[in-house]
Amino acid sequence: MGEVLRTDDFSGAAITQALDPTARIAVAPALPVTNLLIPTIGPLPEGTSRPFWSVMIPIYNCPEDYLRETLESVLSQDPGPDEMQIEVVDNCSTTGDPEALVRAVGGSRIRFYRQPGNIGMVENFNTCIRRAQGQWVHILHGDDTVRPGFYARARQGITANPDVGAALCRIIYTNEHSQWTGITDAEARAPGVLGEDFAARQMVDQLIQFVAFVVRRSTYEELGGFRASLAHCLDWDMWKRIALSKRIFYEPEPLACYRLHAAADSSRLMRTGENVADERRSIDISCAALPPDKARYIRRTARKAAAVRALRRAQRLWRTGDHATAWRQLQEALRCSRAPAVLARAAYFFVRVVLR
């Protein structure tokens, strides 16, 4: 076994060791999947008033400027309380006064529910589903926004395709100043139901974000809630389960804005490399439900894709000066896969980025 690589060791020996299959940064074996517990989502009591939409906004210490922008983006296309439930679900925030902000922005139009104690991010999401009374549930993070027409276009597609279990639109990536930084590739040129190939690609990569995805409440009742065993990939796990079992309507118009910023929980997990480790766990959990021959192919392909994503991330982080986080991403990439494409990118990282 080689020695553990240090963040300050970028000599030729370190490069050789990083690319050496006998080094301690070894490909992590498939995990024994022992925790497959999926929380149940019960149906609503008979006689419950059922609007078409439930826009559920989970928050915890959410920056007030972001939350205000989120709420205003929903209220600007509010069809009224008979058609839309709007509720903020606060996971016992310790900073600011989110209830006062909600009242200032939405008055009595927006419900506010505060957890009696912090129950963790995953269970706060599941609370959102359980408290949702609408036929369709939109879990909208307090730092994301929807553009005008999001709900109208989604409802139009859902109504035209009554057998779908979820609906998705194209996604815009924004920064902390709400400026566009990127946009996802279009899954189709015209609105319609996605084909089976989408589910296969969703097994390998995350093609869905909360802000762009609305789910029939009965879909959650059938498939269950978010797994507590996944910290970073709880949404990827859920969207894979939905994509494998339900038809999904797709709107190619970019109507959802997903904000990337340093305060996001994903940024914290990135600094430790836990985001990539959690991707491996999600891949292994998903593959446990597949036939063995298909599971081997999906596991190999998905781990390779996870490694490539981590290496791209490492290059960006290194160039911005965050060398420690870049190194963590590199280490976790090599634990995912040693495919030729992964090793080539790792070599490029050392030669063209680190040693330049």
Q: Same structural domain for residues 253 and 296?
A: no
Q: Where are the beta strands (DSSP E) in the chain?
A: 53-59, 84-90, 111-114, 136-139, 145-146, 166-174, 180-183, 192-193, 213-216, 248-259
Q: Same structural domain for residues 184 and 95?
A: yes
**Which tokens go with 197?**
């190939």
Q: Does residue 44 lie within any of the structural domains?
A: no
Q: Does residue 279 lie within any of the structural domains?
A: no
Q: Same structural domain for residues 295 and 162?
A: no
* pLDDT higher than threshold 90 for residue 284: yes
C-alpha distance across the termini of the chain, in Å: 29
Domain end among 259, 281, 299: 259
Four-residue CA torsion sign, 116, 120, 121, 122:
negative
Helix, strand, coil shares, percent, the chain, to 5: 45, 15, 40
Quickly state the pLDDT bin for 33 (edges 50, 70, 90): low
Average confidence (pLDDT) over 151-163: 98
Domain end among 238, 259, 280: 259
Q: Does residue 296 lie within any of the structural domains?
A: yes
Question: Are the C-beta atoms of 239 and 213 separated by less than 8 Å?
Answer: yes
Q: Same structural domain for residues 78 and 224?
A: yes
Quickly state the pLDDT bin for 351 (edges 50, 70, 90): confident
Q: Does residue 4 lie within any of the structural domains?
A: no
Q: Does residue 146 lie within any of the structural domains?
A: yes
Q: Same structural domain for residues 81 and 212?
A: yes
Q: Same structural domain for residues 158 and 297?
A: no
Q: Into how many domains does the chain fold?
A: 2
pLDDT on residue 12: 34
Q: Same structural domain for residues 179 and 307?
A: no
The residue segments making up the domain with residue 158 are 53-259
Q: What percent of the chain is predicted at pLDDT more than 90?
A: 78
Q: Does residue 17 lie within any of the structural domains?
A: yes
Q: What is the CA radius of gyration of the chain?
A: 21
Q: Does residue 189 lie within any of the structural domains?
A: yes
C-alpha 335/C-alpha 331 separation (Å) is: 6
Domain end among 259, 277, 304: 259
Average confidence (pLDDT) over 299-318: 94
**Which tokens go with 138?**
């939109």
Q: Same structural domain for residues 134 and 235?
A: yes
Q: Same structural domain for residues 235 and 313?
A: no
DSSP single-letter state for residue 212: G
Q: Same structural domain for residues 111 and 240?
A: yes
Q: Does residue 339 lie within any of the structural domains?
A: yes
Q: Is 50 left (phi over 0), alpha (psi -120 to 50) or beta?
A: beta
C-alpha 73/C-alpha 150 separation (Å) is: 10
Q: Same structural domain for residues 77 and 160?
A: yes
CATH of the domain at 160: 3.90.550.10
Q: Same structural domain for residues 113 and 180?
A: yes
* pLDDT higher than threshold 80 for residue 26: no
Average confidence (pLDDT) over 192-205: 95
Instruction: With 0.95 as the threshold, say if the pTM is over it.
Output: no
C-alpha 39/C-alpha 156 separation (Å) is: 31
